[in-house]
Structure 1
Amino acid sequence: MASTPGLKHLAALKIVFALHPYDYDPSADAIGLAAAKALGILPASMLKTLMVEVDGKPGCCVLPSDRQLSMKKVAAAFGGKQAEMMLPAKAERLTGYRVGGISPFGQKRASPTVIEVQACGLDRVWINAGQRGLLVSMTPADALRASDAKAAELIA
């Protein structure tokens, strides 16, 4: 079994999850959509992890792979005025994960995390486990607890 800081974090919290490896395609236009297709799951259940900066401070957004962030809603969710995407190199340094494998769990330096409220109404969600080509599935409640996140509107 693969071991990532995210998986160790989930195990330490006694979160019940299932592992889902898949063939990662680095040339895919949308990694989350490619993962959903590879595993045969609905894109709305496959959550992507995006790192942002709100008023210059890091934040982690988790949302359905078939949706886009609203920077206005992101700023509001984090209690700020201005939000922008974090540069990939900065996201990798901050989280300890490579782009395409960033997980909200077990980040090197944990950032405040928000999960799209629509995803929280699903029975099960799939989220990156901290390695390209490896996902975990769990209940949204467990995802919120494991990432110390709050639910809020993030999508355009």
Structure 2
Amino acid sequence: MSKATRATGALAAAGAAFTVHTYDYDPNADRIGLQAADALGEPPERVLKTLMALVDGKPVCAILPSDREVAMKKLAAAIGGKAAAMMKPADAERMTGYKVGGISPFGQARRVPTVIEAAALDQPFVYINGGQRGLQVRIDPADAAHILDARVAPISAEMRSG
């Protein structure tokens, strides 16, 4: 596995302090973010997932703890929109230039508005996908928000079981 991706290149170019971590990606996991947290031996609130959504038909990147779900109304409100929906996986791959399971908010093919769950900034560090399945970058969440020029807002809800 290459540890040099567009994501790690973008972080290096931004002068970010980060480390790269690999884990055994399980394509059959029910919840990829939770599988990553377990594989890294980290609590799920510290391992963030990157989701691509549409707010009023326009692409948006949402970053939130792996044990949470996006609250679509909150995401739309954070961007100043009315309605949000998840982007289809094939569209997310085309938009970002990354494969599902390896979508990073850093170094995407096209820059889109990004929102980070406010609770993530309570963590001393977080893990965010590094642009490849099984690759995470460990970074200060405030640095990630700054590099991404992200809005910080409460956009998540507790994950439903089942």
The TM-score range, normalised by the shorter chain, is over 0.9
| Cα offset, 1:36, TM superposition | 0.4
CA deviations on 1:124-156 (whole Å, 9 max, x unpaired) are 000000000000001011110221211001012
Query: What is the rounded CA distance, in whole Å, between the counterparts of 1:145 and 1:6 in structure 2?
Result: 15
Query: What is the rounded CA distance, in whole Å, between the counterparts of 2:120 and 2:52 in structure 1?
Result: 18
TM-score of the pair, normalised by structure 1: 0.98
5+ residue gaps, structure 2:
158-162
- SS of equivalent to 1:23: coil
For residue 136 of structure 2, what is the aligned residue in structure 1? 135
Query: What is the rounded CA distance, in whole Å, between the counterparts of 2:146 and 2:7 in structure 1?
Result: 13
Q: Which amino acid aligns with 1:101?
A: G
Q: Which amino acid aligns with 1:113?
A: T
For residue 105 of structure 1, what is the aligned residue in structure 2? 106
CA deviations on 1:5-40 (whole Å, 9 max, x unpaired) are 111100001100011100000000001100000010
For residue 118 of structure 2, what is the aligned residue in structure 1? 117
- SS of equivalent to 1:33: helix
User: What pairs with 1:136-151 in structure 2 (closer than 5 Å)?
Assistant: 136-151=137-152
CA deviations on 1:65-87 (whole Å, 9 max, x unpaired) are 00011111011011100000000
Query: What is the rounded CA distance, in whole Å, between the counterparts of 1:137 and 1:145 in structure 2?
Result: 15
The runs of 4+ residues in structure 1 deviating greater than 4 Å are none
- SS of equivalent to 2:120: helix
Identity %: 58
For residue 64 of structure 2, what is the aligned residue in structure 1? 63
5+ residue gaps, structure 1:
none
Query: What is the rounded CA distance, in whole Å, between the counterparts of 1:104 and 1:155 in structure 2?
Result: 17
For residue 10 of structure 1, what is the aligned residue in structure 2? 11
For residue 89 of structure 1, what is the aligned residue in structure 2? 90
RMSD: 0.7
Aligned pair 1:29/2:27, yes or no?
no
TM-score of the pair, normalised by structure 2: 0.95
CA deviations on 1:108-133 (whole Å, 9 max, x unpaired) are 00110000000011100000000000
Whether the 8 Å CA contact 2:102–2:132 is kept in 1: the answer is yes
